[in-house]
């Protein structure tokens, strides 16, 4: 009977330590996903642009949406990524998503082609208006890679 209290205290201590370790693991996983997902989405945007440009090479392509199936992309990129040929330019974009613009800028080596849509206008990182008409499906806050 004299060992019950120390054993109970030891079990309580172990349970608290396990809970703390589980919480730290969950926080670490959440932080990893916050960093990984934007980077993966940005990489898929650049991969999509490369695939569409390769597919377009040597073809006359009319304006309109371009699907991953048309280009033969494997694996298929994130379904949030949209691409369209509009006025002869390739537009690849995703709706506003935290961290994607900075990941896209970093992965494209701060390319001037990494843009955002603000106030209905396509803008560079410094806010300069690109003075280009937007395809109708590109919405406010979208992150755009223009080619």
Q: What CATH number is given to the structural domain containing 124? A: 3.30.450.360
The pLDDT of residue 33 is 43
| Percentage of residues of the chain with pLDDT beyond 70 | 82
Instruction: Reply yes or no on whether the pLDDT at 47 is more than 50.
Output: yes
Instruction: Reply yes or no on whether the pLDDT at 28 is more than 90.
Output: no
> DSSP state, 82?
E
Mean pLDDT of the 3-18 span: 71
| Owner of token pair 């701060």 | 110
Which of 104, 144, 99, 98 has the alpha carbon at shortest distance from 121?
144
18 — pLDDT class (breaks 50, 70, 90): low
Count structural domains, the chain.
1
The pLDDT of residue 65 is 95
Instruction: Reply yes or no on whether the pLDDT at 26 is more than 60.
Output: no
Structural domain including 99 reads 3-146
**Residues 6+ away with beta carbon under 8 Å from 92:** 45, 48, 49, 52, 81, 82, 83, 144, 145, 146, 147
Q: What is the pLDDT of residues 66-117, one digit of tens each?
A: 999 999 999 999 999 999 999 999 999 999 989 999 999 999 886 778 999 9
């Amino acid at each position: 009977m004299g060992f019950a209290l120390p054993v109970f205290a030891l079990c309580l201590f172990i349970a608290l330590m396990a809970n703390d370790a589980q919480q730290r693991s969950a926080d670490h996983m959440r932080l990893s996903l916050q960093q990984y997902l934007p980077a993966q989405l940005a990489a898929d945007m650049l991969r999509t642009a490369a695939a569409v440009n390769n597919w377009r090479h040597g073809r006359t392509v009319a304006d309109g949406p371009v699907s991953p199936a048309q280009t033969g992309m494997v694996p298929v990129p994130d379904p949030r990524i949209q691409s369209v040929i509009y006025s002869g330019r390739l537009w690849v974009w995703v709706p506003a998503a935290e961290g994607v613009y900075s990941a896209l800028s970093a992965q494209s080596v701060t390319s001037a082609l990494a843009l955002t849509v603000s106030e209905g206008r396509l803008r560079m990182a410094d806010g300069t208006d690109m003075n280009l008409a937007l395809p109708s499906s590109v919405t406010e806050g979208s992150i755009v890679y223009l080619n």
